Structure 1
Amino acid sequence: MVRAATISADHIPEEKMFQQYATRKNLRHRATISVLAVAIATALTAPAAHGDDLSWGTNPGGTETRSSFAYDLEPGEQARDSFEITNYGTEEISLAVYPADGATTSNGSLELSERTDLATAVGAWIEVDQAEVALGPGEKTSVEFTVEIPTDAAPGDYLGGMVSSYIDTSAGTVVVDRRLATQLAVRVGGEGAVKLNVSAASAQAPIAWNPFEPVDAIVGATVANEGNLRARGSYTITASGPFGWGSTSSEYQLDELLPGSIVAIEQQLPGLWPLLWQQVEVRVNAEDIDSLPAGFSTASTTFWSIPAGWILLLVAVIAASILLGVRRSRRWEADDELEEPVAVESN
Structure 2
Amino acid sequence: MSVQNYGNVSLNLRVYATDGINNPDGSFALLSGDTKPTDVGSWIALAQENVTIPAGKQLLIPYTITIPAGADPGDHVGGIVASNELPTKPGKVNTLLVFRRTGVRLYLRVRGQLRSNLSTEAFRVSYDGGLNTANGKVRVRFRIVNLGNVRQAGTYRLTVKGAFGTGKHDLGEEVFPELLPGQSIEVAKDVRGVPALFVAKASVTVTPKAGGDEAASQPTRRSAQTFAPPLLPLLIVAVLLAFLVVWRIVRRYRNLDDSDGNVIDGNPGGDSGSNEQESVLA
TM over 0.5: yes
8 Å contact 2:166–2:194 — kept in the other structure?
Answer: no
Q: Distance in 1 between matches of 2:35 and 2:132?
A: 54
Q: Distance in 1 between matches of 2:130 and 2:50?
A: 62
Bigger share in strand: 1
Aligned length: 233
Kindly indicate whether residue 120 of structure 2 is the aligned counterpart of residue 198 of structure 1: yes
Change (3 A) 1:270 1:255: farther
Q: Distance in 2 between matches of 1:273 and 1:292?
A: 41
Q: Normalising by structure 1, report the TM-score.
A: 0.60
SS of equivalent to 1:124: helix
Residue correspondence of structure 1 range 217-228 to structure 2 within 5 A: 217-228=138-149
Amino acid at match of 1:98: Y
* Residue of structure 1 in register with 2:49 after alignment: 131
Change (3 A) 1:279 1:170: closer
* Residue of structure 2 in register with 1:155 after alignment: 73
Q: Distance in 2 between matches of 1:207 and 1:175?
A: 47
Give the deviation of 1:288 after TM superposition. Answer: 4.5
Cα deviations across residues 173-230 of structure 1 (Å, max 9, x unaligned)? Answer: 433332212221111111111111112211222225345x534321011221111111
SS of equivalent to 1:295: coil
Q: Name the % identity.
A: 29
Q: Normalising by structure 2, report the TM-score.
A: 0.73
Change (3 A) 1:206 1:116: closer
Kindly indicate whether residue 109 of structure 2 is the aligned counterpart of residue 187 of structure 1: yes
Q: Distance in 1 between matches of 2:54 and 2:96?
A: 25
8 Å contact 1:194–1:288 — kept in the other structure?
Answer: no
8 Å contact 2:129–2:135 — kept in the other structure?
Answer: no
Amino acid at match of 2:2: E
Q: Structure 2 regions of 5+ residues with no counterpart?
A: 241-282
Change (3 A) 1:152 1:174: same
Q: Distance in 2 between matches of 1:207 and 1:279?
A: 14
Q: Distance in 2 between matches of 1:206 and 1:90?
A: 58
Kindly indicate whether residue 165 of structure 2 is the aligned counterpart of residue 244 of structure 1: yes
Residue correspondence of structure 1 range 296-315 to structure 2 within 5 A: 296-308=219-231, 311=233
Change (3 A) 1:289 1:177: farther
* Residue of structure 1 in register with 2:61 after alignment: 143
Amino acid at match of 2:228: S
Bigger share in helix: 2
Amino acid at match of 1:306: P
Change (3 A) 1:122 1:248: same
Q: Distance in 2 between matches of 1:121 and 1:228?
A: 13
